[in-house]
Every structure is written in structure tokens, then in C-alpha cells.
Amino acid sequence: MTLQKSLITTAITLATFNSYSASFQLNETSASGLGRAFAGDAVIADDAAVLARNPAAMALFDKATFSLAATYVDPGVDIKGIKAPDILGADYDVSQMEQSGVVPTAIIPAIYFINPVNDTFAYGVGVNSNFGLKSEYDNDYAAGSIGGTTDLKTINANISASYRLNDQLSLGLGLNLVYGKAELIRHAGNVLDNGVSIPGVGLVVAPVQGSTEVVNMAGDDFGYGWNIGAVYEVNENHRFAVTYRSKVALAFEGEFSGLGTPETAASLTVDMPAFAEFSGFHQFTRQWAAHYSVMYTQWSSFEKLEAYTGDELAFEKQENFEDSYRFALGATYNASQALTLRAGIAFDQSAAQSYRSISIPDSDRLWYSAGATYKLNSNDSIDFAISYINGDSVVVTEEDALLEGLPNTLSGVVGNKDWRFSSEGNALLVGVQYNKRF
């Protein structure tokens, strides 16, 4: 395989790895949910944002309801160097591998509307995002071929309906249109600053300046999916819900350019995974309620990569992502008719147990959340929420993409091709939401 072709396939591979990090699964669908770490979010139905989790919960509404939400995300992802590839020498200063603020701040918006037509039927529409994240490294970053700009955005537009079968059981169905856009940019980094030389032969690979752009790929696509749900009401104070959202295939098609490579058509189909959630809600007293959720995400459906440049199969590789779980527990306190307080804690399991990338060095996370709803009047209310996410410290080992593309005959000269890092990622989330009943 030529160096140019290897760069193309490596670029596509990196894009897919990053879009399948568990960190790309966004839970930030509402401020009310954020304040309880999204515990019980598929069944509480205190505002229209429940549409993002469970269409059957629309049966719990007796008036048309509108919600507009925004969540500000301030991540703190820092990378520190442990070891560099052998080609850089035993005395290489690993402090050059440090990078702070890898993931920039972002605002995640969402909007929902639910309309109960009668006591039996309701419909709703919503727009939010279930997957998306961005990471950025400096253009002259030492490990530039694996740490550059990685940007994935998705927008999910949903139309749903619910039907109440009887006083206890309600069912719901939704259809989803998902738009995805991805961008990947990589630079050469330090590994080929001096080229590659063979003793007695001389220079066999020319030097490449660290800031040289070796990968630039962008693409977008529309995908389709569906979701179903059910709500079972034991009585007015206790209810349960289960919901399932199908996987959505996005065939990213766009243009690739890179080191010595003219602009080339490239495509890659990626399945955004299916996930299911079970939630419970219990109103123990007029003031106190407890709620909980278990979410299962089917990352194991990601079996292999198949990347194409034009009509040619450029790359195929088996993968080993693992199914993951998210557990959340929360409580709500009705302080007065105007003020409701809530809090929650959650454990969010990483799907990348065997492979991690410095583009998003994913890890298990703990959520600590608090929030409040203030009723402006009988029909209008505002939600506020704050969450702190504490991620585990992890070690990331990743092969340099430029060195990987060198011929196998140079392996003895190049030696170890891996970069090794330590990473810790935390985040602060702040949400605000406006709700109106008509």
C-alpha cells in the first residue's frame, strides 16, 4: 500500500473511531433533565422535552406544551505526554506532547412541542442532537497526524405520536430524520522533521515540516431512524417507562485531500448506535419524589469499517467496541407551588474499553447535577440546571498515522511507532429552558 493511500484510509479510520467514542453520545436534551442527571427522564414528563426520550410519555399531557432549551458545555480535557515514537530519539522532551483544552466549549440547543388532540391521541415534534463533539489541537502539535481538528455534528428532527390504550398503558412511535456533518484535519507533527535515513544508504523519506497538512476530509449525509416507547402507570404516583431508539446509518460522502494527494472523493458509512432506556418515577409525598434510569447503548453493532475512495474499497477492519450502560438516580423536592428543586447522580460507562484516541480520550464518568424550576405563572416556567462531570484518568496509546504509512521495509529503522499519553477529562454543564402550556 502506498503512503498516500495509507493516509487516506488512516484519515477515514480516525474519523470513525472518534465518532464512535461514547463521549459523542449526547444526553443534553433539556435543562430540566440535566438538573436530575437525566434520571427518570423517559417517564417524568414535566415538560415537552420528554419527547426526546419517550414518545409514549406524551399521553401524560392534558394541554399543548412547548419547551425551548440550551445547554452550555465547558469541557476540561488535558493531554500529557508519556512516551514518543523511537524515531524522535530517547531524549525527546515529552512536554511537547502536552495540550490543554482539547475540547472547546459548545452550546447544545433543543426545541419541542407536544399537542394532546384528545384523551387518547397526542402528537409532537422536536429538534435536538443525540451525537456530536469537537476536538482541536494546534497546527504544529507534536503528534499532529493523530491530533488535529475532529468535528462531528448531528441534528435530529423527530415527529411522534402516542396512543393511550387504557388508564395504565400508553404506547408511542416516532420517526427521525438525522443530518450529520463531519470534518477531519491532520498535520505532519514532529515524526518526519528529519525524514528517514538508512545507514549506508542515506535519506529514503524526505523531511516533512510539522505544520504540513496531511489530511483534510469533510463530508455530510442524511439518515433515517425510528423510536418506540411505552408508559405503564401503576397509579397517579407511580409509573414506569421503556423506550428504544434505532440505529441510524450516516454515509459520510465528501472530498479528501492530503500530503501529495489531489482532491479525491471519499465515503464511509457509520451506524450511530441504537439505545434503550428504562425509567421509573415515584411520588412518595406531596413534596418528595424519586426517579431513576438505566440506559443501554448497543456499541457492539459497530462490527467493522469499510471505507471507499471513489468506487474502490480502500480499507476494511474489524473493531471491538463494547456495549455500555448509564445508570442515573435522582430526587425532586416541591419547595412551593412556584419552586421545584431537583438533584441527581449518574455513572456513564465508556464504550472505548480497548481503544482510545487522543482526539477524544474517552473514559468512565460520574455526573453530579442540581437544578430548579420556577413557575412564572400557571402556564409559563423556567428551568435552570448545572452539572459537573468527572472523568477517570486514562492512558492512551496510539500509533502515529504517518509512520504507519511507511513501507514495512523501514520498520527496523523506524522502531516503535506509538505515542503514549495520559489524559483526564472533566466538564461543567449549565442549562436553561423556557416552558409554556397553552
pLDDT tens-digit readout, 404-417: 878 888 888 889 99
Quote the CA–CA distance of 161 and 58 in Å, as a whole number: 8
Quote the CA–CA distance of 223 and 255 in Å, as a whole number: 19
- Please choose, from the candidates 363, 365, 427, the residue with its C-alpha nearest in 3D space to the C-alpha of residue 395: 363
Buried b (16+ CB within 10 A) or exposed e, 37-53: bbbbbbbbbbbbbbbbb
State whether the Cα torsion 116-122-128-130 is positive or negative. positive
CA angle 116, 168, 111 (to 5 degrees): 35
* Domain boundaries, position 236: 3-437
Q: How much is the pLDDT for 322?
A: 79
* Main-chain dihedrals φ then ψ at residue 306, nearest 5 degrees: -135, 110
219 within 8 A of 257, measured Cβ to Cβ: no
Quote the CA–CA distance of 31 and 22 in Å, as a whole number: 21
Q: How much is the pLDDT for 363?
A: 78
Q: Where are the beta strands (DSSP E) in 211-360?
A: 213-235, 238-245, 248-258, 261-272, 275-283, 288-297, 304-309, 312-318, 324-334, 339-348
Entry pTM: 0.88
State whether the Cα torsion 277-171-66-438 is positive or negative. negative
Counting the structural domains of the chain, the total is: 1
Per-block mean pLDDT, blocks of 10 residues, the chain (438 long): 51 46 71 97 96 97 97 90 91 90 90 97 96 85 86 92 97 96 86 86 86 84 96 96 94 76 76 92 97 92 66 61 90 97 94 69 87 97 96 85 82 89 89 97
Q: How buried is 118 (Cβ within 10 angstroms: 0-12 exposed, 13-18 middle, 19+ buried)?
A: exposed
153 within 8 A of 221, measured Cβ to Cβ: no
Segment (H or E) for 115: strand 106-116
Rg (CA), the chain: 24
- Please choose, from the candidates 358, 270, 264, the residue with its C-alpha nearest in 3D space to the C-alpha of residue 314: 264
Q: How much is the pLDDT for 273?
A: 87
Q: How much is the pLDDT for 177?
A: 97
CATH number at residue 112: 2.40.160.60
Q: How much is the pLDDT for 10?
A: 54
